[in-house]
A and B are shown apart, each in its own frame.
Chain A
Amino acid sequence: MNYVDFKSPTQLDEARTLLKELGESASPVAGSTLHVFLKDESPKVAVDILRLGLNGIRLVDGVYHIGATTTVTDMLNHRQHGWVLDRVAEAFVTQPIRNMATMGGSVVRVFPWSDLPVALLALNAELVITGDAERVMSAPEFFATQPFHHLQAGDLLTSVRIPALVEGQGFAYHKERRTTTDFSRCTIAAWLALDDGKIADVRIAVGAAVPMPRRMDAVEDALKGARPGPAAFEKAMQAGIDAPRWKGLHGISDEYARHLASVHIVDVLTKAHEEAKGA
């Protein structure tokens, strides 16, 4: 990064004004881990957004509000009813990076290995952007393209909202990796709600093995109203597995990437179902 100056505002408005005035020549900096992958040579003013008080996890009316500068470690350490992001945070590379990387930085620019976007899709998250006015975007909207395209100069992602899990619901997350700190080859998240022994609602999202994280609509459709179980999961998986264009990363073939997805879709559905059942 070619930072020619830095600013350390302590108020959100102050930060936004700075960013707006400087426009293209400024960039918000949260955990700053992105620069490992993205070497931007153009001269920029770094605007440190870690001192704006945007961090913290609050439960409001059954919905978790996660401040944009909440670190992955904070998400990992948080323990409260219906909180599930610790399962995702645990898979997020290494301790020092979990200590630095933030919710905001991890979702405004999506990489194949990005963990949080996949989980947020399955959890029906809402993303709050503070610009001149506040905007709320649904996860599918937000991740339909590289999310930073939604942000104008001076806009900041300020929080992410996810409904807390309640009884009868389950969530599971799987990241296929060779070692605990590996980049993902295939990421799958599933959320599932039971009603009267049937699947009332379900959301499955995949990442890493597809160009952008996405929901698996056809699999979801095949499951809604169905009786959960190995046969139903397998059948639903078959119904939707070929919707995305699977892409093998880091030396694996496209075919194997598809195969991994097919195995783990069934696996995470099974796990989410167990949780929903209260097992």
Chain B
Amino acid sequence: MNMKTITFTLNRKEQSFDIEPDETLIDLLRRTGHTGTKLGCDTGMCGSCAVIVDGRAINACILFAFQANGRTVETIEGVGDFDSPHPLQTAMADAGAVQCGFCTPGIVMTAKALLDEKPDASEEDFKLHLDGNLCRCTGYVKIKEALLSCSSATGGES
């Protein structure tokens, strides 16, 4: 095993990790207790592993951990908690957009990346940006409702 150390900012805190050169970011995250990031396909085709790297949503099942070296990574654990949920989390919960919830962290992260860049995201923006997130439970209707309610274009805040 060729463990090497990398350092990156994880949820606003600079942290160092010993990694194997061929481990993916999701493996690193999950084995270090960041289990909110889910593995649904391991091939970049479902979006449940989405995390934000340098402001953009990526598939943590694809990105190698070493590629995160020196970058800024945000996971669902850094986004909100019971006493301070992110508006997206509140909106998803209230809209009935969380059924099994397995897709939810990925959807929250992908939508957050969009809203961070474009607080007044339109329905078309959400459709384009969320095109990598599968949800088998909800049929997306309530998800769309929840996301749109967080755009400043509809009076939401994010």
Contact B131 A100 (CB under 8 A): no
Query: Mask for B90-127, Cβ within 8 A of A = 1, else 0?
Result: 00000000000000000000100000000000000000
Complex partner residue of B57 from A2, A5, A32, A99, CB under 8 angstroms: A99
Residues in A with CB closer than 8 Å to B132 are 93-97, 181
Task: Output the least CB separation between B138 and chain A (Å).
Answer: 17
* A96 lies within 8 A of B50 (CB): yes
- Does B64 lie within 8 Å of A96, measured CB to CB? no
Which B residues lie within 8 Å of A99 (CB)?
56-58
In whole angstroms, what is the CA distance A186 to B22 when docked? 34
Q: How far is the CA of A73 from the CA of B44 in the complex (A)?
A: 16
Given contacts A32-B67, A36-B43, A48-B66, contact A181 B22 (CB under 8 A): no
**Contacting pair B21 A46 (CB below 8 A):** yes
Of the four ranges (under 10, 10 to 19, 20 to 34, 35 or more), the interface on chain A belongs to 20 to 34
Contacting residues, chain B, for A3 (C-beta < 8 A): 21-22, 64, 66
In the complex, B79 has a CB within 8 A of chain A: no
Question: Are the C-beta atoms of A5 and B21 separated by less than 8 Å?
Answer: yes
Residue B63 is within 8 A (CB to CB) of chain A in the complex: yes
Query: Does B32 reach chain A (CB closer than 8 Å)?
Result: no
Q: Which residues does chain B contribute within 8 Å of A35, judged by CB atoms?
A: 62
A1 touches B (CB below 8 Å): yes
* Pair A180/B66 contact, Cβ less than 8 Å: no
* A:1-57 near B, CB below 8 Å: 1-6, 8, 29, 32-33, 35-36, 46, 48, 50
Task: Note all chain A residues with C-beta closer than 8 A to B21.
Answer: 3-6, 46
CA distance A100 to B59 in the complex (A): 8
Minimal beta-carbon separation of B48 from chain A (angstroms): 11
Task: List residues 41-76 of chain B with CB under 8 A from any CB of chain A.
Answer: 43-45, 47, 50, 56-59, 62-64, 66-67, 69-70
B123 to chain A, nearest CB (A): 14
Q: Chain A residue with minimal CB distance to B61?
A: A36
Q: Give min CB distance, B1 to chain A, whole Å.
A: 10
**Bound-state Cα–Cα, A1 to B129, Å:** 28
* B2 on the A face (CB < 8 A): yes
B64-A94 in contact (CB<8A): no
Q: Tell whether, in the assembled complex, residue B128 and residue A96 are in contact, meaning their CB atoms are under 8 Å apart.
A: no
Q: Report A-chain residues with C-beta under 8 Å of the C-beta of B57.
A: 95-96, 99
Q: Check B67–A5 contact: CB distance below 8 A.
A: no
CB–CB A96/B66 < 8 A: no
* A8 lies within 8 A of B110 (CB): no
What are 7 residue pairs bridging A and B, where the CB atoms are less than 8 Å apart in the complex? Answer: A32-B63, A46-B66, A93-B132, A96-B132, A97-B44, A99-B58, A181-B131
Closest 4 CB pairs of A and B: A94-B132, A3-B22, A3-B21, A99-B56
